[in-house]
Structure 1
Amino acid sequence: MNWALRLEELERKVTTAKETTGSAPRIESLEQLAQYIAAGEKPKDQWRIGTEHEKFVFCRTTLEHVPYEGENGIRAILEKLSEETGWSIIAEGGLPIGLKGDGASVSLEPGGQLELSGAPLENIHETCDEVHRHLDAVKKVCDPLGVAFLGMGFTPIATRAEIPKMPKSRYDIMRRYMPKVGDLGLDMMHRTCTVQVNLDYSSEADMVKKFRTSLALQPIATALFANSGLYEGRSSEYASYRAHIWTDTDADRTGLLNFVFEDGFGYERYVDYMLDVPMYFIRRNGEYLDAAGLSFRDFLKGELSILPGEKPTMDDWEDHMSTAFPEVRLKKFLEMRGADGVPWAGICALPAFWVGLLYDDAALAAAWDVAKGWTTEMREKLRLDAAQYGLKAEIDGRSVQDVALEILDISRSGLRSRARMGNLKEDETTYLDPMVKIAKSGITMGEATAKYFLEDLGGDAKKLFEEKKY
């Protein structure tokens, strides 16, 4: 291969990660911050589905997580994936850190996990097609490199020290800050994977209904999609160890946001919350400035110690909104964040689950009826118990298994009402089938995998990885 020509091709396709320079519109009033969220409102016929999923990247011979550099490293994978898909490379400091194309992107997580952030699509059939195209391209690129991908919520055998670190400046800032605010934040960054879905709202009132319902039911999704039952080659003692990690990461920016259930909640109250979330960073001239622990309220007054006299722009606000990690996150859409990384067949189930519940009025009302009587204390306990016990947890005198089956029925009715047909003339309800099977069994993916690994495979990690890889 002519590497000079190859370099020229790559350079033509490289786009630099968005740089905040301070020249974007300045924030003049708090109303602008609420208006930023309100700008996400869309009429129902324009509601879309954006699915994100992360996966671990490992070497098939050593089972080690793949480092950034090297012939089969993350950098090589990104470059080859760019060639395969035609997507542009996103670079930071001259280094490839992601890809962009077809309204979607591939991003690089702190421990080398690769994430597909999907395009906003109209139905679950399109979402599943997107997932298949992406994973097919990934396999085509990675099979010759001896590299494969694993869909789990927590890496099953690697220690924290064995996880490579990726060259993104914001992650360096987070690595320094995380140990100050929790014991498991570094594990969250480097040893977890998730599947998420981003959904729209039509108005502030619609946002509130969807936020409350999805936030209350997020632990049900956690239990249903729990898939992190192993920890460094032994039982994690949790159905979702990933969900447990989030309970000891950073209380200032995580959790169930109980104020969402209070009277008067809306855009302005969420802005108040975000203003109290400590900052991580500010981007100026292509560089990340360490603002960890500083106050955005001080920034609004021009009193930030690292930029004295300077006030923030709307780009700064957009960045800051991405640094809160509650179980449901509000930006210009609602982001469902409660599920573990799952096998290929389960990826499409998460958007189907939430679309069925939130995009049909009758289903949304029925789902809220299930959870509206739960108190703050009950919801908080459920969050902890769902992580540890999965479908065996209880809420309001019922098993989570029972609640999950009811919620799945409601979701199925919502999807059936949408009546979005695929190429095989099936509607979107078919994508719920893997989760219905799990809910009926009462045994989570994490529990089943841990038992299979420890008992049936006798702790043979190579066999486990080969069987569970994408």
Structure 2
Amino acid sequence: MSGPSFVKDSPIAGRNELVEYVAAGEKPKAAWRIGTEHEKFGFRLDDLRPPTWEGERGIGVLLEGLTRFGWQRVEEDGKLIALVRDDASITLEPAGQLELSGAPLETIHDTCCEVACHLQEVKTVADELRLGFLGMGFQPKWRRDEMPWMPKGRYRIMREYMPKVGSLGLDMMTRTCTVQVNLDYSSEADMVKKFRVALALQPVATALFADSPFTDGKPNGYQSYRSHIWTDTDPDRTGMLDFVFEDGFGYERYVDYLLDVPMYFSYRGGNYIDLAGKSFRKFLAGELAELPGAKATLRDWADHTTTAFPEVRLKKYLEMRGADGGPWNRLCALPAFWVGLLYDGAALDAAWDLVKDFTREERHALRDGVPRHALKLPFRHARVRELAIEALKISAHGLARRARRNRHGADEAMFLDILMQIADADQTPAERKLELFRGEWNGDIDRVFREFAY
């Protein structure tokens, strides 16, 4: 989750300015970049508990230790809550999940180097503090009430509001981790086509990356429990956004959607003002009783865009949000999957041909069924596995045509190998862990921390 936006704090003149804000994300193809984000669970090596922010082995000390690598401090109320370096940042999710928001980079090779460097820096400091980090979609061992809370104002507001609109919102905040990629568009029409393909195929990514089969130390009946959690978090700001597939969809329609998403807060004077459930439309008109006469600014709008949580999110770029967190190679595979599909014209056409006749009911059946069944979910006359294999083939061809090679001459399609293996074996990461849990682990969930930590 984001912190306050670094956007000019000027009053919004009207709805058209909000449309222009999104349209300003348009970039020529030569300027398209890849922004990869991932979250991971910290744990103490001795008792496997998640570290608090405070204490000599806390997340605050970990962040302080990372400053030796040139990261600059970001504080809130005198507490270190984030780091920035160049165009990247390290931030804290509500229970201390550590997130890298990577810089906009040209190739998957660059992204993978960035991820590897980050994990090495984190491990260097974490080893000194006797901490480890685990990549999965859901915290496998600890209950919600055993998770710590980070000292960030927006999380206090969300913590109070979430139980009013869904039963799993606090689990989303404290016990989930994801990997996502942020990608560019060149025009409104390009955005629309990419948005539609990404929404229709998001369940395929969820299936391939499914890695959250445990809750409170036991199997939970799902392969991506993280994905399931979003179905009972807050219906006003989650879901498949059916209107994206309607005729006439574009920047204006998405802005109207965001205007109807209830607010969380306004960040003013260094403080988060609780506006949970309030109308951004009224804020535009200066009609909020909590901020008499105050009108929304562009920074308020930029912050508000981060508080909608659909499967694909539009800001000044498109965010692919459907995948569970995982190990290093899958952190590189997700951007490869989507770049191959969306950044090559022929691949984008082929991907659209693959999904354009999906009905609304089929898209929802995929979204609702994949969290439990993943690749084995029946779809039309086959299963999601066969759909995933077709999408992977299209992506691989798109990456091959991009021809962005490393110093050894390999193109970016190499990063799809792990996903090809998952699809070929017809076994998700979740199914592999369940096999171990029921077999050689003998029901001991603690083994996951030792055997799958970074």
1:75 — aligned with what? Answer: 60
Quick one: distance in 2 between partners of 1:21 and 1:416?
A: 37
- Secondary structure of the residue aligned to 1:319 is helix
Hey, what does 1:53 align to over in structure 2? Answer: 38
Residue equivalent to 1:221 = 205
Which portions of structure 1, spanning 4 or more consecutive aligned residues, are displaced by more than 4 angstroms?
17-23
- d(CA) in 1 for partners of 2:149 and 2:248? 43
* 1:393-432 paired onto structure 2 within 5 Å: 393-432=377-416
Which position in structure 1 is the counterpart of 2:326?
342
1:317 paired with 2:301, answer yes
The AA in structure 1 aligned to 2:17 is Q
Is the CA contact (8 Å cut-off) linking 2:134 and 2:452 kept in structure 1? yes
Offset of residue 344 of structure 1: 1.4
Q: 1:7: which partner in 2? A: none
SS state of the match for residue 466, structure 1? helix
413-422 vs 310-319, greater mean Cα deviation = 310-319
Distance of 1:419 and 1:55 partners within structure 2: 31
1:113 aligns with 2:89: no
CA contact 1:19–1:285 (8 Å) conserved in 2: no
* CA RMSD, 1 decimal: 1.4
Distance 2:235 2:181 in 1: 23
Relative to 1, partners in 2 of residues 1:132 and 1:319: Cα closer, same or farther, differing over 3 Å? same
CA distance in 2, matches of 1:257, 1:464: 35
The aligned counterpart of 1:392 is: 376
Q: What secondary structure is seen at the aligned counterpart in 2 of 1:154?
A: coil
| 1:254 pairs with one of 227, 231, 238 | 238
Equivalent AA in structure 2 for residue 75 of structure 1: G
Counterpart amino acid of residue 111 in structure 1: A
State the alpha-carbon separation in 2 of the partners of residues 454 and 74 from structure 1: 33
Q: Equivalent residue of 1:135, what SS?
A: helix
1:160 to 144, 150, 154: 144
Structure 2 residue identity aligned to 1:168: K
* Cα distance change on mapping 1:254 and 1:50 into 2, 3 Å: same
The percent of aligned pairs where both chains have the same amino acid is 58
Gaps of 5+ in 2: none
1:97 counterpart = 2:93: no
Deviations 1:196-252 (A, max 9, x none): 000000000000000000011000100011000111111110110000001110000
Work out whether 1:178 is the aligned partner of 2:167.
Answer: no
Between stretches 333-342 and 366-375, larger displacement belongs to 366-375
Question: 2-side partners of 1:436 and 1:250: how far apart?
Answer: 34
1:361 matches 2:345: yes
Contact kept in structure 2, 1:20 and 1:284, CA below 8 Å:
no
Assess if the C-alpha contact under 8 Å between 1:327 and 1:338 holds in 2: yes
Displacement of 1:18? 7.6
Q: Alignment partner of 1:329: what SS?
A: strand
Quickly say closer, same or farther: Cα 1:305–1:42, change in 2 above 3 A: same
* CA shift in 2, pair 1:397/1:20, >3 Å: closer
Letter in 2 for 1:180: K
Name the SS of the counterpart of 2:370 in structure 1.
helix
Which of the residues 214, 221, 224 maps onto 1:230? Answer: 214
1:59-113, Cα deviation, whole Å (9 max, x unpaired): 1110101111111110000000112x11101111110001000210000000110
Q: 1:458 aligns with which of 432, 442, 446?
A: 442
- CA drift of 1:454 comes to 3.0
| Alpha-carbon distance in structure 2 between the residues aligned to 1:447 and 1:346 | 16
CA distances 1:374-433 after superposition (whole Å, capped 9, x unpaired): 111111111011111000012233200000001000000000000000122110000000
TM-score where L is the length of structure 1: 0.95
Residue 462 of structure 1: CA displacement? Answer: 3.3
2:198·2:312 contact (CA, 8 Å) conserved in 1?
Answer: yes
- Matched-pair contact (CA < 8 Å) for 1:391–1:442: yes
> Which letter maps to 1:47?
W
Q: 1:140 aligns with which of 95, 101, 124?
A: 124
Are residue 33 (structure 1) and residue 18 (structure 2) matched? Answer: yes
Distance 2:57 2:21 in 1: 41
Distance 1:90 1:74 in 2: 14
Against the structure 1 CA distance between its residues 64 and 21, is the aligned structure 2 distance closer, same or farther, given a 3 Å change threshold? closer
Matched residue type, 1:167? P
User: 1:124 and 1:253, CA in 2 relative to 1: closer, same or farther beyond 3 A?
Assistant: same
Change (3 A) 1:20 1:352: closer
SS at match of 2:232: coil
Equivalents in 2 of 1:329, 1:209: separation in Å? 14
TM-superposition CA deviations, 1:351-388 (whole Å, max 9, x none): 00000000001100111111111111111111011111
2 CA distance for matches of 1:158 and 1:199?
34
Separation in structure 2 between the aligned mates of residue 360 and residue 80 of structure 1, nearest angstrom:
41
Match of 1:289, SS? strand
Structure 1 residues 33 and 138, CA gap change in structure 2 (3 angstroms): same
Conserved? CA contact 2:19–2:255, under 8 Å: yes
- Structure 2 vs 1, CA of residues 22 and 404 (structure 1 numbering), >3 Å: closer, same or farther? closer
What is the distance in 2 between the residues matched to 1:118 and 1:157?
28
For the residue of structure 2 that corresponds to 1:348, the secondary structure is helix
SS in 2 for 1:461: coil
**Secondary structure of the corresponding residue to residue 456 of structure 1:** coil
Q: CA deviation at 1:20?
A: 7.8
Answering whether residue 421 of structure 2 is matched by residue 437 of structure 1, we say yes
Aligned equivalent of 1:64: 49
CA–CA separation in structure 1 for the residues paired with 2:47 and 2:66: 22
SS at match of 2:334: helix
Offset of 1:301 from its aligned partner? 1.4
Letter in 1 for 2:390: E
Q: Distance in 1 between matches of 2:150 and 2:351?
A: 40
Task: Provide the C-alpha distance between the structure 2 equivalents of 1:394 and 1:285, rounded to a whole number of angstroms.
Answer: 53
Do the aligned partners of 1:283 and 1:289 also contact (CA within 8 Å) in 2?
Answer: yes
Are residues 373 and 129 of structure 1, via their aligned partners in 2, closer, same or farther at CA, if it must alter by over 3 Å?
A: same
Q: How far, CA to CA, are the matches of 2:286 and 2:431 in structure 1? A: 51
